Amino acid sequence: MLPTEVYPGSEPSRWKYLDRIRTRPGPFTNPDAFDGSLVAEAIENMTVLTVVELTSHSGAGGLGCEILKNLALSGFKSIHVIDMDTIDISNLNRQFLFREEDVGSYKAEVAARFVEKRVKGVKITPHNKMIQDFGEDFYMQFQVIVCGLDSIEARRWINATLVNMVDEDVSDSYKPLVDGGTEGFKGQARVIFPTVTSCIECQLDMHAPRAAVPLCTIASIPRQPEHCIEWAHVIAWDQETPFPALDKDDPEHITWLYKKALLRAQEFNIPGVTYSLTQGVVKNIIPAIAATNSVIAAACCNEAVKIGTSAAPMLGYPDENYMMYSGNDSIYTYTFKHEKKDDCPVCGNLARELQVDPDWTLRELVESFATRPEAQLKKPSLRGEGKTLYMQSPASLEEQTRPNLDKTLVELGLAEGDEIGVTDPAFATVMFKFKLKFRISE
């Protein structure tokens, strides 16, 4: 008997090419277990959660609409989408599921209805909420989670939640997380099997805050147009205070900075200072590139299809779990294995080493958590072994522990090798463990 070429329940023409994958065995399918008539059904029965930014806020990101459309066209029939925003007129130029009459409506609802209308038989459940509004019970109902967020905080939160949900005795508690992200011409796609492969927290150094240009370069030897703009922004503005306070949304203020930067650029013979570059540098805007978003969304949905069908090995099995893409200079992709870290605060069990200067005050330590690539915690509360060092809340405890901020680490009785626990309101469930390692400043 010939193999079933077309899954009987679907519109044949639309799914013709997809059915070739779904109904035929491939080099990676298990010949004893493969049944071509069941694969399409298996995908249809999966419930996928998409945690996405349907359009970007800052200009970066905005993978959501692509991901939603791709999943529906890949044969997934039960999709949930979380996004709490409403549609703004400025979103319409870079995304294809919203129309002018949708301005003011919830993005998740409009996107869901649009895709449902175009792809018959798909059911998309919108949630106009934040990811943190849901508990483990909610996340348990999904077989795959596809994430396309532009905030690292939200990614870290969902990652920590999925790792915490793992119960070794319940195979259904392992929720594969497919994560995509873009920034201008660069992007990445990765798959995380909570507790099994390297998690987002293990890979946090891939999201290191961008290094600031040293002030001396800006002040004395600018080489790039950005340096001239930073000079106008950081130095000239303070010296001349043309307006009482800088409003980055006020065109008059940006024009002032632009003119200053242009004069400086001419002095140093540096081309390339424009009004829009000035605006971009001052507001820290990274442009969203539609092509990057489609490449990364396609890679993510491809992974979801592989998880659903076993048609090909997914990222992370056996080794390579991280695909990076760069369109900056021609097109380049590289796939590699990001190792799981034993000292990962979320999925590891060892405390992570933390280089500190023993002469630092506790305040300096607390402030350093925001910028350290391995921590990136903006409102940390710290506990030492057996005592509270500093608590951000409640107010009474903050007041009680505030005097500690001006003491040095040594004065607080902290020693090399001591473990400290750090919590942050952005990651309610996680206690980050660090082990102090002293380095003496020169």
Which residues contact Zn ion by CB under 5 A? 199, 201-202, 344, 346-347
Q: Quote the tokens at residue 242.
A: 């043309």
- Kindly report whether the peptide bond that precedes residue 225 is cis, defined as omega within 30 degrees of 0: no
Instruction: Judge contact between 335 and 322, C-beta under 8 A.
Output: yes
- Angle, in degrees to the nearest 10, between helices 290-309 and 64-73: 40
Let me know if 258 is exposed, middle or buried by CB neighbors in 10 A (0-12, 13-18, 19+).
buried
Closest CA to 161 of 175, 180, 148, 144: 175
In 314-415, where does DSSP find H-type helix?
Answer: 362-371, 395-401
Q: Which residue is nearest to Zn ion (CB)?
A: 344
Instruction: Judge contact between 292 and 332, C-beta under 8 A.
Output: no
CB of 111 to Zn ion, least distance (A): 31
Q: Quote the tokens at residue 233.
A: 């922004």
Report the relative pairing of strands 186-192 and 177-183 from DSSP bridges: antiparallel
CB of 162 to Zn ion, least distance (A): 11
Q: Quote the tokens at residue 142.
A: 């999904």
Q: Please state, as a whole number, how many other Cβ atoms lie within 10 Å of the Cβ of residue 54.
A: 30
**Helix, strand or coil, per DSSP, at residue 326:** strand
Q: Quote the tokens at residue 192.
A: 């995380």
Strand order in the sheet with 322-326: 123-127, 78-82, 47-52, 144-148, 177-183, 186-192, 322-326, 332-336
d(CA 399, CA 10): 64
In 59-167, where does DSSP find H-type helix?
Answer: 64-73, 107-118, 136-140, 152-165
CB of 194 to Zn ion, least distance (A): 9
CB of 340 to Zn ion, least distance (A): 6
Positions marked catalytic: 216
Contacts of 321 (CB under 8 A, 6+ apart): 190, 191, 192, 197, 198, 315, 337, 338
d(CA 111, CA 68): 8
Q: Which C-beta is closer to Zn ion: that of 95 or that of 198?
A: 198
